Structure 1
Amino acid sequence: MKILVINGPNLNFLGIREKAVYGNQDYDYLLKMISDKANELGAEVESWQSNHEGAIIDKLQDAYFNGTDGIVINPGAYTHYSYAIHDALKSLENIIKVEVHISDITNREAFRANSVTAPACDKQIYGHGLDGYLMAMDYIADIIKK
């Protein structure tokens, strides 16, 4: 099982930005959590982060060709307006896709409640902190096992 975890803009600043919203754990802590979960699931997982919309789209398109079974994506602020990322996700019909948000996007600024990327995904998880990534990986693994 091959899972790609994509983190969008500013997620590399975990533990630095808005600690009351995103917590005190840094990006390396998240990567370790994901790696430990991959070992538990017996999965090959690549974690990748970019602050650039086009790079995220390129990475999604690469997943089409490289045997990726599932994608966990936190598009960051692109969630709310990137129809280009939506379209790239929508193109990956045979890959399981889960959108993750650390915070509860429905209880923040009004613009954050709207996700243009979620409709192109199989599931959306928000408000569970960093554990949302692990929940998404479990979801992908469960579907693949069925």
Structure 2
Amino acid sequence: MKTFLMLHGVNHNMFGKRDPVQYGTATLADIDAQLQALGKELGVTVESYQTNSEGDMCDRIHQAFSDKVDGVLINAGAWTHYSYGIRDALAILIVPVVEIHMSNIHAREAFRHHSVFAEIVKGQICGFGIESYSLGLRAAVSAAAR
């Protein structure tokens, strides 16, 4: 069975409490449960990981390389816009990487319009709220099948 890793970034442990206008009321546990259910439907395993530590995120990406996961989904939050360390860790991966955002980062503050990951990921999905995760998993599974 193929394994996909969902990486949740900084402050995502506060989903459901933080800025419901942008992020809705779903919690991180709700998002992970939705991904687990969709993973079963698609015949894949989904592992989720969240951290507020940039170094720990890089370490988990390195582990994904060693574990030979079949694809990675990442919503790095604010790290998307400036973390070259996470970008370089993602660049090590030889599997499809899909960048996910619940809000439309291109319709928000100017600093959010740029992703340092954009050049190395398979694609970006943003602006569909919690559904962005399902769309991202479907895209990653499709890309890994090629």
Please tell me whether the aligned partners of residues 5 and 71 of structure 1 are also in contact (alpha carbons under 8 angstroms). yes
**Hey, what's the Cα distance between the residues in 1 that align with 2:141 and 2:49?**
19
Q: In the alignment, what sits opposite 1:16?
A: 17
**Hey, what's the Cα distance between the residues in 1 that align with 2:55 and 2:24?**
28
Task: State yes or no: 1:127 paired with 2:143.
Answer: no
Amino acid at match of 1:17: R
Q: In the alignment, what sits opposite 1:29?
A: 30
Amino acid at match of 1:82: S
SS in 2 for 1:4: strand
Matches within 5 A, 1:1-146: 1-92=2-93, 94-146=94-146
Q: TM-score, normalised by structure 1?
A: 0.96
Please tell me whether the aligned partners of residues 71 and 96 of structure 2 are also in contact (alpha carbons under 8 angstroms). yes
Amino acid at match of 1:68: V
**Hey, what's the Cα distance between the residues in 2 that align with 1:117 and 1:145?**
22
Please tell me whether the aligned partners of residues 95 and 144 of structure 2 are also in contact (alpha carbons under 8 angstroms). no
CA drift of 1:140 comes to 1.5
CA drift of 1:119 comes to 1.5
Please tell me whether the aligned partners of residues 104 and 127 of structure 2 are also in contact (alpha carbons under 8 angstroms). yes
Count, aligned residues: 145
**Hey, what's the Cα distance between the residues in 2 that align with 1:91 and 1:25?**
32
**Hey, what's the Cα distance between the residues in 2 that align with 1:144 and 1:101?**
20
Please tell me whether the aligned partners of residues 87 and 120 of structure 1 are also in contact (alpha carbons under 8 angstroms). no
The unaligned stretches of length 5 or more in structure 1 are: none
- For residues 25-68 of structure 1, what are the alpha-carbon distances to aligned partners after superposition, in whole Å with 9 as ceiling and x for unaligned? 11111111011011111111101100010000000011111020
SS in 2 for 1:3: strand
